[in-house]
Amino acid sequence: MLDSDVQIALFAAFGGVAVLAALAAVLTRFLLRSIVAFGAFLTAIAGQFYLLAADFVALIQIFVYVGGVVVLILFALMLSAVGEKHPLAVSEHRGLGAVVAYAVGGWLVWAAFGEDLPEAGEVPGETVAFLGRAFLDQQLVAFEVIGIILLAAVVTALVIVRGERL
């Protein structure tokens, strides 16, 4: 049957894939494989979103992250061609990096097991319509501010990449 046990099992399976892909992304010595593994990681996370009834977010994850951000990172690799080796494999600050990584990771785990996580609300029947309505009503300011931030992002990107003056 399709009950919550199956749902939790599948969620855990996606989580396992995500962890494996993340490990592969970090441990491989080839930059290209690291990026591909990152793409696999993002896809597994998209699966988890879908299971959490956030189907719109799941597809955005694929659309924007796999189809956009991963392509951008690949472009960065190909155009700079600084080396095909993973930069972490030749890191000069291994000790410091480990401390930072364990601190951040430990903090995330601690937060995940914390008691003060918000309760999940009721799942709306039409998730996208709910989201769209929210953008036009309660979250209107956020919606328009995102527009402004993205405008700033275009400007900043061009300023940094092309050395433009404002």
* Chain residues that interact with other proteins, rule: CB under 8 A: 1-2, 6-7, 10, 30, 32-33, 36, 39, 47, 50-51, 53, 55-56, 59-60, 62-64, 66-72, 74-81, 84, 123, 125-129, 131-133, 135-136, 140, 143-144, 146-148, 150-151, 153-155, 157-158, 161-162, 164
- Pair of tokens at residue 148: 């402004």
Q: Which is nearer to other proteins, 96 or 128 (CB)?
A: 128
Q: Say what angle helices 31-51 and 4-27 make with each other, to 10 degrees.
A: 160
Nearest distance from residue 144's CB to other proteins, in Å? 6
DSSP state of 87: G
* Residue 75 or 107 having the CB closest to other proteins: 75
Distance CA 161, CA 155 (A): 10
Least distance to other proteins, CB of residue 143, Å: 7
Cα distances (angstroms) measured from residue 81 to each of 66, 75, 90: 21, 10, 16
Q: Determine the straight-line distance between the first and last CA of the chain, rounded to whole angstroms.
A: 60
What's the sign of the alpha-carbon dihedral 60, 66, 72, 76? Answer: positive
What is the smallest separation between the CB atom of 116 and other proteins, expressed in angstroms? 24
Nearer to other proteins, 19 or 133 (CB): 133
Nearer to other proteins, 95 or 125 (CB): 125
